[in-house]
């Protein structure tokens, strides 16, 4: 079996040798072997590919030298696989480039013939090309996936759940072969067809013009950790295309699928692809449940959308048990029975695991609904919970128009502050104090919770004042929020939700950082559950 990674790989030529060919899509839990052979900060796709090759004992590999990381991968694999061939990819799309690529394909055929000891089957190749059918898209609205490759199951999931065309224009996308001219030199025509497909980002080609041929509802742009190329193009697309764009960063470890789908769901809700309507009775009571990583919250509304009761409890070892308990307490406070509740909508990371909910909606949409209900002047929401932080932008009607999330790191979250409180041996209430009179202006340089913990321990060893350290920690959280705000754009009014909104010290430092006043709801932890209850009550417009 020959493993490959790039859409410019001559897959049909390999098949003409009667060989099995497999695209390498890393499905790994760690970079254990790869990090022993390369630097930890190398491209995560390169490390994932190397780890996958070593774990699965793939002994024949074809690469395309599209970037420095892949060239480094080739150097590492030289003495670790039986057959390795690197195809040189031209950086332009013209007649000369097609001739160069044609020569590269002929060289690959020669090298593989020599390695295998058998001849390339031209007739078999011709039949394989005749069987190839390019994917055709109609003119209906569609979602484009760009940037680094997505796992096929994510794209399939979007198509099946939302019944919308998804155009895969990533490195391994659908637009690989469209029209192969038959003629005397079929390999040259094949080379030309590949070169004239949707161009690689590293080519000097106008990808923006190509995108304008589609009726795009939105773009999901996948970037790779430690690779700046994709971030540059994402910024360019955002500046020049009037299309909603979601940016995702992938490290190709197999536990990030849930986080990716959570962001995709929120994005598709915001652009109107994922409908959130529920069947609503005219009378009764409506409940929203927010199953978060730290707390589980429930809100009950009456038919006039007045808050009747709410509950906040810690999320225990089993999210479902916590959801039932929050449900029970909210019912008890409202003096209601289960049969009095007409509809339940769940949100939060545990939303899909709540069997008694009638609909699940992402927390992005729910926080937007809840915040706008509490104050219709709110245009920017800062939500800092136990394990993640996010900034959400609303339009004048309260619809989500943009959002950014920090959900792969606990930096700047409630968990970050909990850890620091334990290190300082103070209560979380002490951490929430506003520090105006300080002796020393301390800056916590590391945003990583682990490294910041070490930094705080070092400051304690230097006999620094605890109040100065606390102020420095609160300022570091404010800096994280400011960076998220910079990505979506600042627009007043601001509202802060989530448990950290109860930390007056953090709120004070954020206000100083952005030079704006922040609205704090009467109970900032229930805003997501409130939004879910509003959706349950029929507020979908």
- Cβ count within 10 A of residue 123: 8
**pLDDT at position 541:** 42
In whole angstroms, give the CA distance from residue 533 to residue 334: 14
**pLDDT at position 66:** 86
pTM to 2 decimal places: 0.78
Contacts of 24 (CB under 8 A, 6+ apart): 3, 4, 5, 49, 52, 53, 58, 61
**pLDDT at position 152:** 75
Paired residues of 144 in beta bridges:
167, 219
Residue-wise pLDDT tens digits, 139-157: 678 888 998 887 777 788 7
Joined tokens for residue 342: 């007409």
Residue where the block lists tokens 């545990």: 350
pLDDT along the chain (541 residues), means of 10: 92 94 86 88 88 94 92 94 96 92 97 95 90 67 86 78 83 69 81 88 81 87 83 85 86 67 85 68 85 93 95 90 95 94 92 90 94 97 89 94 78 83 88 84 82 89 91 90 89 94 93 95 96 88 42
The H or E element containing residue 189 is helix 186-195
């Amino acid at each position: 079996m020959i493993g490959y990674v790039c859409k410019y790989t001559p897959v049909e030529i390999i098949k003409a040798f009667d060989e099995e060919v497999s695209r390498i899509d890393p499905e790994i839990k760690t970079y254990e072997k790869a990090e022993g052979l390369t630097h930890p900060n190398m491209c995560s796709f390169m490390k994932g590919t190397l780890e996958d090759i070593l774990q699965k004992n793939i002994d024949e590999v074809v690469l395309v030298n599209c970037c420095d990381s892949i060239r480094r991968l080739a150097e590492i694999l030289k003495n670790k696989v039986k057959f390795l061939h690197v195809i040189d990819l031209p950086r332009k799309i013209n007649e000369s480039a097609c001739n160069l690529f044609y020569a590269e394909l002929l060289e690959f055929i020669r090298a593989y013939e020599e390695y295998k000891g058998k001849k390339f089957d031209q007739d078999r190749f011709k039949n394989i090309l005749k069987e190839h059918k390019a994917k055709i898209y109609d003119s209906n609205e569609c979602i484009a996936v760009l940037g680094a490759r997505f796992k096929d199951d994510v794209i399939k999931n979007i198509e099946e759940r939302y019944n919308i065309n998804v155009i895969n224009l990533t490195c391994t996308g659908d637009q690989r072969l469209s029209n192969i001219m038959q003629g005397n030199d079929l390999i040259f025509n094949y080379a030309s067809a590949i070169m004239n497909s949707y161009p690689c980002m590293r080519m000097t080609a106008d990808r923006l013009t190509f995108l304008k041929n589609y009726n795009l509802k939105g773009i999901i742009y996948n970037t790779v950790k430690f690779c700046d190329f994709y971030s540059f193009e994402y910024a360019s697309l955002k500046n020049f295309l009037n299309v909603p764009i979601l940016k995702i960063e992938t490290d190709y470890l197999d536990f990030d699928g849930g986080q990716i789908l959570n962001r995709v769901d929120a994005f598709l809700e915001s652009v109107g692809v994922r409908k959130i309507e529920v069947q609503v009775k005219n009378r009764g009571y409506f409940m929203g449940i927010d199953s978060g990583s730290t707390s589980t919250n429930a809100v009950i509304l009456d038919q006039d959308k007045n808050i009747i009761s709410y509950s906040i409890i810690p999320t225990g070892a089993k999210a479902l048990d916590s959801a039932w308990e929050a449900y029970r307490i909210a019912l008890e406070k409202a003096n209601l029975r289960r049969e009095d509740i007409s509809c339940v909508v769940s949100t939060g990371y545990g939303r899909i695991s709540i069997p008694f909910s009638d609909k699940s909606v992402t927390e992005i949409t729910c926080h937007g609904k809840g915040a706008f209900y509490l104050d219709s002047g709110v245009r920017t929401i800062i939500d800092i919970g136990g394990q993640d932080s996010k900034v959400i932008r609303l339009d004048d009607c309260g619809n989500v128009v943009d959002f950014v999330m920090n959900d792969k790191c606990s930096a700047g979250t409630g968990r970050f502050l909990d850890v620091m409180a334990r290190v300082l041996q103070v209560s979380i209430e002490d951490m929430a104090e506003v520090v105006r009179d300080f002796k020393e202006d301390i800056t916590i340089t590391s945003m990583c919770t682990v490294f910041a913990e070490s930094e705080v321990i070092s400051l304690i060893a230097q006999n620094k004042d605890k109040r100065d350290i606390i102020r420095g920690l609160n300022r570091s959280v404010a800096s994280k929020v400011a960076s998220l705000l910079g990505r979506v754009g600042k627009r007043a009014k601001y509202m802060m939700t989530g448990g950290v909104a109860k930390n007056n010290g953090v709120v004070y430092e954020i206000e100083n950082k952005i030079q704006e006043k922040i609205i704090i709801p009467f109970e900032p932890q229930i805003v997501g559950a409130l939004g879910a209850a509003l959706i349950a009550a029929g507020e979908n417009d």
